[in-house]
Amino acid sequence: DTGVSQNPRHKITKRGQNVTFRCDPISEHNRLYWYRQTLGQGPEFLTYFQNEAQLEKSRLLSDRFSAERPKGSFSTLEIQRTEQGDSAMYLCASTEGNTEAFFGQGTRLTVV
Amino acid sequence: AQSVTQLDSQVPVFEEAPVELRCNYSSSVSVYLFWYVQYPNQGLQLLLKYLSGSTLVKGINGFEAEFNKSQTSFHLRKPSVHISDTAEYFCAVTFLQGAQKLVFGQGTRLTINP
């Protein structure tokens, strides 16, 4: 296993467009988390899946954001009608329990 | 309220000098504690973690941290830094309730000068 994989690594989009990011967790990990990191800040929690069930969403996750984890494997994070304030690094992490989260390389989104 | 505070946003040190990066947290429940390092345009790499047991934990790259429950602190130390340690360091806490997500501090930018 090569760890947590995120695609794409970079995405530049025009304001108002929709974007989708993908995260492939470590295969045996049942928990998957999405975080958002803006410049000069620590990552902030967005949402959490245990297997295929989305169990918690942050209030940061507006109704333009949606995340899925079909079949409890990979996950997608979609942002509709992107705004310049959505520009950030989107990080995915997976864990089997809660003792160590493994992070992907992130997807850097730039909204122009 | 549950929160994590890194007291220094930037720490410049000379190569081979010791360094301490400070982290305090606030919690009403039990916690797990972590330090992560982030290099430019990269994800986060775990340096070390405290789950239970000995309060002094050793991690990768010569780093160590000490959990102090009474002071609710988890400071990161290295006795002698190298140029390659230049990076952003994040303290993170898992509060053992609910989603048990990581809550991160604001980060400390460690700059090593020759």
What is chain A's pLDDT, residue by residue, as a tens digit (112 residues)? Answer: 579 999 999 999 999 999 999 999 999 899 999 999 998 899 999 999 999 999 999 988 889 999 999 988 999 999 999 999 999 999 999 998 777 899 999 999 999 9
Token pair belonging to A20: 């989708």
| Angstrom distance (rounded) from CA A6 to CA A21 | 7
Residue type, A52: E
User: Strand, helix or coil at B7?
Assistant: coil
Within an 8 Å CB–CB cutoff, is residue B60 touching chain A? no
Q: What is the pLDDT of residue B42?
A: 82
Residues of chain B with C-beta less than 8 angstroms from the C-beta of A99: 32, 49, 51
Distance from CA of A80 to the nearest CA of B (A): 24
3-state SS, residue A100: coil
CA B106 to CA A51: how far, in whole Å?
Answer: 30
Tell me: the pLDDT tens digits for B59-89?
A: 999 999 999 999 999 999 999 999 999 999 9
Mutate to test the interface with A, among B36, B101, B103, B108 (most CBs of A within 10 A): B101
Inter-chain residue contact A43 with B104, CB threshold 8 Å: yes
Chain A contact for B27, CB < 8 A? no
Please list the pLDDT of chain B residue by residue as tens digits (114 residues). 789 999 999 999 999 999 999 999 998 888 999 999 999 878 899 999 999 999 999 999 999 999 999 999 999 999 999 999 999 999 999 988 877 889 999 999 999 998
pLDDT of residue B92: 96
Backbone φ and ψ of A109, nearest 5°: -105, 130
Q: Is B83 helix (H, G, I), strand (E, B) or coil?
A: helix
pLDDT at B21: 98
Cβ–Cβ of A98/B96 closer than 8 Å? Answer: yes
